[in-house]
Chain A
């Protein structure tokens, strides 16, 4: 029986560590919470809400009302059916055997209906007494910690407990349910009641109140609640901005990072040397963000301000020291950047293009200057197709890598492209050229916006395909775990560019590969990018399309159906078609037509007959009106099918499902007469071909 009245108390688990890398702590915290929640719910312990605390030095779980005991558990054991269990109303050998195996006396068993309509079975009800929750947790905690997703695990403890690792050394563990310790140890650390405060400001050891750990940690200069800490930083940043009369440049990723670097965040206002305001804003931003984890600001009119905001992990006794220290480092960093920014323009962009003759693109694939020539050739050849200005595009492609030889980009590679645009502008290149150069690497991250410039898009697609072909030629093909050359990311970026319907790039994957390959082949006789590479690249791109279906707003099944089409389409059309198929496949007609298509496909597959547009159908060999009817409708459908758009095509196919159904109801395809049979199969091959122009609808779920 369930115990209706149960004692509950606060559950507190804290894993105290040395500083966990920013970005990993929240993931580890959530994984820990999920694992403990799953453990308890599997054990039928209703722990209620588990509050999570995450800082660089601790993962904290807190539940206010955790049961002390697991519920008793009633279980019904089912044995053999009555006719086996009883012979002449006496328990059979089988019944004795089953009872023995269950560890219950035969008298505990009765007969009951299982509800499967097959009569009564031998059965017994047992009650398992609930275990203490402390025991349940104690038995599993070490394994839970061991299985947290650390990525790179490290070993730190001396001696023999070498199996226990973590992302950084664990230095203390608090684990208690009310006043009872949850006894376990991991990596030589034994769980107890004692926690630690902030490394500098807090006490080196303190017992945590299991009822109010978050509040108590605050007194130890630790804001354990990550959201609260993040919010606190945002508030302090805002306050500092108001006080300094400047505008903060929002940066959620940076805010996340500083949240995960601090337990007691304190925003510090610094000023860098105003002479560095001559640097492009992006240069200072990247520099301060990536190297110093500082926020940059603007004046109200959008002009850069020399005020920056650092987030320290201490309430300093001398805050000026912290500000001055940060200013020193920031000034030294910006001085570096300014040195290059002032020196770079001493070479013209033309000279810099020359220098690319000496920069290796990739060992085995020639120089960057070779790549530039290929990109230029590509945009020249395809300008009309893409509806871009060929002269401008060519110029942009010619200059797009020139910034790679600048000191600033050598020092801060993340500024590539952006600096190219700035330097092009300073060189009085036309604005569209500068914009295309600046934008052509976009999108870099999955969530990045696409370029506005159509030329940038065109260069971006050309460069990514160029890269894929080159690296596949070298057999540097990404594996499931390793993609050292970023080919997967390049491919995803390329697909996003090609899938965008707002600025459609009308090129099929097939043509794109051919066009890119042409540039390689024209240029380097030594690199014959063979058919196999073509094939491998094409299937790599298709695999990526399948993998990123959700982010393209379509189902994987629909993409898979569309990719099986026997007509080449630009990727943006494929995605649009997949969307149509997704809408369509849930409708009744959609289901019906997919089913009809599947039937046709199955018959042809069994007979090993391929879809064909040219299969000859002889109506003289028809026996039944349903054959005539289907043929007639098929011919009508074929007429002008290619010229109509996908929606119309789908509509046409949908219109066929009635006659297809009638055909299959009335006609036995596999007629004994060979000629009749072949004629019917030819009819179906034609029909199948028509379907395949849209895609293989049999991939859609029916």
Chain B
């Protein structure tokens, strides 16, 4: 049986063979692999860029104190960016499924329209959710715009939902029962062994203890810092501040501290930052 970590390693090896730069997770909290600078910043310039990496994602509102078999506030995405997207990108993707043990001649793979838009990243693209026998396992997007910048070299983004794929491959109904790795003595380390306590504590923190005032200050501070750094043409450090602001916003959301009206304002503030930083990055990279 393909363990959870084998799944990651297999995908990494496969995409490494396609010439992707295998990156490691970024060391800052983010809601999706798209936020990683290897995606957000690197798609903006004119250079070719192929990369693949696993990225832990934090979605505080999705926390369920470890009680829901399908939902986590911290989970993994496997992200691939091919810029420019080659003409056979969908075939490359299909082949990756065969690589992890999904025989495409036996399973029903379908591409169902799902256009993507991220108001806070000032980004949109067109693509599909990929269905495996009716289950969504991947998001596929051709980026058209990021950070308000029209992309001249269209990148293809492939985002695998790792836990879901692994659950399917292992025939497991509960995330926490996923096999992470087999020990030499034959015993198993499960996803629950690694992350159950993590989910309980973080859910408790996200929903109950995260300090609203402090988060609010963090958001404001990150915004200020970002704008200050942009003036020094430091688009990469400036961009990291956006990730911090964005995560603070997600936590405030989980704390129920954001009204409907405020939500739009927060998203608008993040969007303005992403525009400014994207412009700055493009300015220095051209």
Contacts and interface: CB of A to CB of B under 8 A. Distances in A.
Interface of A: 18-19, 21-22, 56, 152, 154-158, 162, 167-169, 171, 199-201, 204, 261-262, 268, 292-294, 310, 312-314, 316-318, 321-322, 324-326, 328-330, 332, 360, 363
Sorted from nearest, which 4 A-B pairs have the closest CB atoms?
A325-B133, A21-B113, A312-B108, A158-B84
Contact of A155 (B91, B108, B115, B144): B144
A157 B142 CA distance: 11
B126 A326 contact: no
Nearest to B264: A363
B86 to A, nearest CB: 9
Contacts of B258: none
Contact of A22 (B113, B126, B168): B113
A71 B33 CA distance: 60
Contacts of B125: 154
B23 interface: no
B5 interface: no
A316 B142 CA distance: 29
Given A21-B113, A157-B154, A158-B153, A325 B106 contact: no
Nearest to B88: A171
B94 A317 contact: no
Interface in B90-149: 90-91, 94, 103-113, 115, 125-126, 128, 132-135, 142, 144
A329 B134 contact: yes
A307 to B, nearest CB: 15
Given A22-B113, A155-B154, A316 B84 contact: no
B133 A200 contact: no
Contact of A171 (B87, B107, B111): B87
B248 to A, nearest CB: 23
B283 to A, nearest CB: 21
Contacts of B105: 200-201, 314, 316-317
A206 to B, nearest CB: 16
A316 B110 contact: no
Interface residues of B, number: 35
B95 to A, nearest CB: 11
Contacts of A317: 103, 105-106
Nearest to B135: A329
A618 B112 CA distance: 78
A616 B259 CA distance: 64
Contacts of B144: 154-155
A332 B70 contact: yes
A199 B94 contact: yes
Nearest to B133: A325
Contacts of B168: 325, 328
Given A158-B84, A314-B105, A328-B173, 5 more contacts: A19-B111, A155-B154, A199-B109, A268-B108, A317-B103
B108 A261 contact: no
Q: Which of B104, B106, B153 has the most CB of A within 10 A?
A: B106
B154 A156 contact: yes
A contacts with B: majority SS: loop
B75 to A, nearest CB: 16
B200 interface: no
B84 A321 contact: no
A152 B144 CA distance: 11
Contacts of A200: 94, 104-105, 109
Given A19-B128, A325-B132, A363-B260, A261 B112 contact: yes
B152 interface: yes
B85 to A, nearest CB: 6
Contacts of A19: 110-113, 128
A21 to B, nearest CB: 4
A356 to B, nearest CB: 15
Contacts of A316: 105-108
Contacts of B109: 199-200, 313-314
A18 B90 contact: yes
B103 A325 contact: no
Most A CB within 10 A of own CB, among B94, B108, B113 = B108
A313 B110 contact: yes
Contacts of A293: 112, 134
Contact of A322 (B112, B128, B133): B133
A19 B106 CA distance: 20
A121 B62 CA distance: 84
A261 B110 contact: yes
> Which of B91, B112, B168, B261 gathers the greatest number of chain A CB atoms within 10 Å?
B112
B58 to A, nearest CB: 23
Contacts of A171: 87
A169 B86 CA distance: 11
Contacts of A292: 134
Nearest to A168: B126
B108 A156 contact: no
B134 A18 contact: no
28 contacts: A18-B90, A19-B110, A19-B112, A19-B128, A22-B112, A152-B115, A154-B125, A154-B142, A154-B144, A158-B84, A168-B126, A199-B90, A200-B94, A200-B104, A200-B105, A200-B109, A261-B112, A292-B134, A293-B112, A313-B109, A313-B110, A314-B107, A314-B108, A316-B105, A325-B134, A326-B134, A330-B134, A363-B261
A171 B88 CA distance: 9
B103 A329 contact: no
Given A312-B108, A332-B70, A154 B126 contact: yes
B85 A329 contact: no
A158 B47 CA distance: 11
B142 A322 contact: no
A216 B257 CA distance: 61
Contact of B154 (A158, A201, A310, A332): A158
A113 B154 CA distance: 63
Interface centre among B107, B153, B168 (most CB of A within 10 A): B107
A169 B87 CA distance: 9
A94 B180 CA distance: 94
A534 B104 CA distance: 60
Contacts of A363: 260-261
Interface in B182-238: none
Given A19-B128, A21-B113, A154-B142, A325 B94 contact: no
A152 B133 contact: no
Contacts of B108: 268, 312-314, 316, 322, 325
A664 B34 CA distance: 79
Contacts of A201: 105
